[in-house]
Amino acid sequence: MSDEEKKINRKERRVYAKDAKEDNKILNSSSASSSSASFAFFPLRSSRFLFFFFLFLLLFFSFFIPGLSAEVPEPPPSLEEALSKLATAAPAYEPPFRSQRQIRTAIPERFLRRKKPDSDSIRPLSIPGLDHPLTQKYIRQYSTKGGLSWLWAVLDKGGPYLAFIRRETEARNLPPELVYLPVIESGFLPTAVSRSGAAGLWQFMKNSIGGYGIKITEYADERMDFWKSTQGALKKLEDNYKQLGDWALALAAYNAGLGGVQRLMKQTGISDYWILAEQGLLKPDTIGYVSKLLAVSYILSNPRQFGFTPTWPDDPRWIRVGLDHPVDLEVLAEHAGVELEMLKKGNPELRYTISPPEKGYQLKVPSRDAPAILAALERTDLPLIRYRFHTIGYGDTISALAQHYRLSVDQILAANPGTNARILHIGGKIRIPAITDVTAPYQGQNTTVSKTANGGPGELQFRGSHLVKKGETLWSIALGYAVDPQLLAAANGMDLNDTLREGRILKTPLIK
């Protein structure tokens, strides 16, 4: 191909390419216009579909998304309005319903673990020695099951007197532990008698009552008068403290005698009770005396610590009524409409139920019964003593009658003013105070009795016997015989913590 032909071909290809570009532009513009025309006409063809579609969206948001509703929410209430609404709307508390079965199967309170008391709630003692090993030994001993049962039983016996003793102790500003000293001395039994013959709540010996207003007569042993003996014992303890300057030594002197303790202190040069006790220089009973008192005082002052809550007895609020003539308590209780047992508890010093014949005897009565008793005493038409009448026969004597009826000669003569004991007229009448339980008729001078009225309480004798039964302890047996458990153990050659075997025979006091 020539050069000229080549040039013509290149020109033709350029023209052809230019035409092709213009054709493409035309095609593109026509396709765009056709697509826009179809889009413009699309809503017109699907308007029914869109209508239902938008209706569905409106219903969905109205029912399932209330936060998008057109309602305007109320503003939140103020704090005061909210509290007032809450107070008025809160229903009253009602305990949850529990069926009878649930109640019956509930765990009893006594089996629940008790919370140990805080140290601040424990009452300390005013007399030192609580931490001494001997005191701790007695705390463990008295806090056993048997020991605690014995303590509560003793408190029950002392119920009529406990509040009176506490008031007397507080009035003298004495250590509160002294309130519980009768627990150690007598088991709070006002008629208790020791092996050595000491008697009453505070265990006065016959030779130690001088200077404390206590007397012993054929009608009354005032060592058993809870009023006089309490005042006398507290005064004696005060006197001991003034002499020795230490309460532990004062208590040791109350048990062993002031003179004996003073001599021991002078001989040894030791003025500390605990050192004297540790070295065994005191009597065996005195060595444990103070420790026992501190142990008992600690337990009874902090009963919750030991898992018990004792029921403290009511206070009778005793008052004393002076008598101008003898009165039989049984007759007085009947006419006054009061409880005879309380009159006996208030006057345990009387050997009989009759008051002494001398004027001025102070009868102790509960304050609630005082008006009725005073009204009965003021009546002159009421015979407040009962008598038996004996017709004098051949050979009868006042002495023989006194023996038979368990009275003294003076008691019979006091009931028969003007009677000469040496000259009795056959067929005459003799009044016999009906104050003993003798009911058998008088049979003459051959009648004998084992004990006269003025014999008085003697030493405690272990002449009885007791067969040990299953489950019994020295504590429980001591309660039955109204004796201190330590004495019972010692009389049988035992220690208080020894185990009792069923079938063993123990020596015990005779029950009157």
Q: Hey, what's the torsion of the CAs at 415, 416, 417, 423, to 10 degrees?
A: -140
Question: Residue length, the chain?
Answer: 512
Tokens linked to 200:
């009453």
- Residue of 230, 116, 249 lying closest to 181 (CA atoms): 230
Distance CA 495, CA 20 (A): 136
Q: Which of 177, 185, 218, 222 is catalytic?
A: 185
Tell me which amino acid residue 107 is: I
Token pair listed for 290: 């103070």
Cα 112 to chain centroid distance, Å, stands at 19
CA 34 vs. chain centroid, Å, equals: 110
Two structure tokens written together for 495: 């220690």
DSSP-based helix, strand, coil % in the chain, nearest 5 = 50, 10, 40
Report the amino acid identity of residue 293: L
Q: Helix 258-268 and helix 226-244: axis angle, to 10°?
A: 20
Strand spans (E) along 210-334: 318-322
DSSP state of 388: E
Burial of 32 (0-12, 13-18, 19+ CB in 10 A): exposed
The whole-angstrom separation of Cα 289 and Cα 248 is 9
Six-digit token string for 229: 């003996």
Can you tell me whether residue 494 is helix, strand or coil?
Answer: coil
* Known catalytic residue at 278: no
Supply the residues annotated as catalytic.
185
